[in-house]
Amino acid sequence: MEKFGIPDPFEGEREAKGFGTVQDQEDDVMMLLRLKDVRKTAKDVKTFQSGAKPGRIVVPSEVSIRDTRQIPFEVDPPLHGKYRSVLEDWFRRPENTDYQQAIAAIIRELLSEVKAKSSVEAVSEFSLKLQSRALTLLLNIPYAEAETWISWGTHVFRSEDSAVDGDKAEILYSYIDRQILKAEESPGEDLYSILLNSEIDGRKFTKEEVRGVMILTFAGGRDTVINAVTNTLAYIASKPQVLPAVKANPAIITTAVEELVRYFSPLTHMGRVVTADTEICEHAVKADSRVSLCWASANRDPNTFENPNEINLERQLNPHVGFGFGIHKCLGATHARQVLRTLLQVLAEDDIKISLLEAKENIEDWGEFQRKVGYDQIHLSFS
């Protein structure tokens, strides 16, 4: 049985100086590595803004491929809170029992598909499909629409040869525009229609604002959910005792999912733009430069987490930042948690066995740090 692991490439620099530097399109990023610094910086939204030029807080920067502001992610207070309160209830629907049951049904359908094969490339044949089909629930649109998204492949924004691919992004943007037009012509109960009908400051959302929310919903929840699901499967394949333990005590699912999110940290980091000269880790930081909050490194900080490189499914105190921290924490977290909790529950209840056949790791290149975030491909068998 191969041991599953996601190494922590940040350990040395986190201890030595607390930050690293990522070069990106002549707009370098100071990457903060310690949990305390990451949390403090995430909270200080005045000095470390998200509402910069659209695409600039993302690393690698998307400034050259989009003008649309992602909402509420690239908006600062006070407007941020207004958007967030409009959206909050909708994005909490995954807590409902019928939503959870619908996810369980999607997973069971997928399992019957993959069990029929002797080898399954799980990124494209399981994780992408689960992510896409579950997204129809979040958007409240017909299930069949998932087939379109599955056909786009695993990377909407990323292609094999360049980190930021404008043509691929265009597929998503023009698709979203068409859906907004459709919802305008015949409104329904879907997220597009709800947004078109939502109000902020006493006026209706503009089409550009609807677009901004939808791009965030699609892009933010794609690679992240796919990596989290794939890593969960790989972990289970390496540890056959996990599912029986979950079955014997389903109450551990909650702590288990938080621990997996901490350990996997599906999103490595997220940037901010500095609004005034300041200092972090005894290091001067200039106004209009970029810093990033490295969730993946913060989640292995030994000053807070005991045995940070071990997965302890019953970790009781787990102040991880896998979904971000502060006002900009992940809007889709309720959905993502429900997908992962239900996945563990169904796999355990149905006595599924997973074996690893072959894998190619997905290693992100952040200059001085090479980080495994998941798999490009992983061949598994399900029984």
Partner 1 sequence: MSQIIFITQNQERYELSAESGSLMELAKANRISGIDGDCGGVCSCATCHIHIHPDHFEQLPAASEIELEMLELEDNVSDTSRLACQVKVQDAPEGLIVTVAN
Chain residues binding partner 1 by CB under 8 A are: 36, 39-40, 43, 92, 254-255, 257-258, 304, 315-321, 323, 326, 329, 333-334, 337
Which residue number, 220 or 326, has a Cβ lying nearer to partner 1?
Answer: 326
Question: CB under 8 Å to 302, separation ≥6 — which residues?
Answer: 308
Query: In the bound complex, what is the minimum distance in angstroms from residue 1's beta carbon to partner 1?
Result: 28
Which residue number, 19 or 305, has a Cβ lying nearer to partner 1?
Answer: 305
Contact call for residues 320 and 262 (beta carbons, < 8 A): yes
Strands (E), the chain: 19-22, 29-32, 48-49, 120-121, 199-200, 203-204, 269-274, 278-280, 283-285, 290-294, 354-366, 369-382
Which residue number, 284 or 317, has a Cβ lying nearer to partner 1?
Answer: 317
Contact call for residues 263 and 295 (beta carbons, < 8 A): no
Among 349, 260, 294, CA closest to 22:
294
For 19-25, the CB contacts below 8 A with 24+ separation are 19/280, 19/281, 19/283, 20/294, 20/366, 20/367, 20/368, 20/369, 21/367, 21/368, 22/59, 22/292, 22/366, 22/367, 22/369, 23/367, 24/59, 24/60, 24/61, 25/60, 25/61, 25/63, 25/64
Which residue number, 153 or 319, has a Cβ lying nearer to partner 1?
Answer: 319
Contact call for residues 195 and 156 (beta carbons, < 8 A): no
Query: In the bound complex, what is the minimum distance in angstroms from residue 8's beta carbon to partner 1?
Result: 19
Task: Please give, one letter per residue, the 3-state secondary structure of 172-214.
Answer: HHHHHHHHHHHHHHCCCCCHHHHHHCCEECCEECCHHHHHHHH
Which residue number, 43 or 283, has a Cβ lying nearer to partner 1?
Answer: 43
Which residue number, 323 or 375, has a Cβ lying nearer to partner 1?
Answer: 323
Q: DSSP assignment of 81-114, as one string?
A: HHHHHHHHHHHTGGGSHHHHHHHHHHHHHHHHHH
Query: In the bound complex, what is the minimum distance in angstroms from residue 262's beta carbon to partner 1?
Result: 8
Which residue number, 129 or 341, has a Cβ lying nearer to partner 1?
Answer: 341
Query: In the bound complex, what is the minimum distance in angstroms from residue 255's beta carbon to partner 1?
Result: 6
Which residue number, 331 or 380, has a Cβ lying nearer to partner 1?
Answer: 331
Query: In the bound complex, what is the minimum distance in angstroms from residue 40's beta carbon to partner 1?
Result: 7
Which residue number, 111 or 333, has a Cβ lying nearer to partner 1?
Answer: 333
Query: What are phi and psi for residue 285, nearest 5 degrees?
Result: -125, 130
Query: In the bound complex, what is the minimum distance in angstroms from residue 348's beta carbon to partner 1?
Result: 17
Query: In the bound complex, what is the minimum distance in angstroms from residue 180's beta carbon to partner 1?
Result: 29
Name residue 217's beta-bridge partners: none
Alpha-carbon distance values, 261 to 2, 117, 153, 256, 300 (Å): 21, 29, 23, 9, 12
Query: In the bound complex, what is the minimum distance in angstroms from residue 376's beta carbon to partner 1?
Result: 29
Query: In the bound complex, what is the minimum distance in angstroms from residue 14's beta carbon to partner 1?
Result: 17
Query: In the bound complex, what is the minimum distance in angstroms from residue 258's beta carbon to partner 1?
Result: 5
The structure tokens listed for 184 are: 């305008």
Which residue number, 269 or 315, has a Cβ lying nearer to partner 1?
Answer: 315
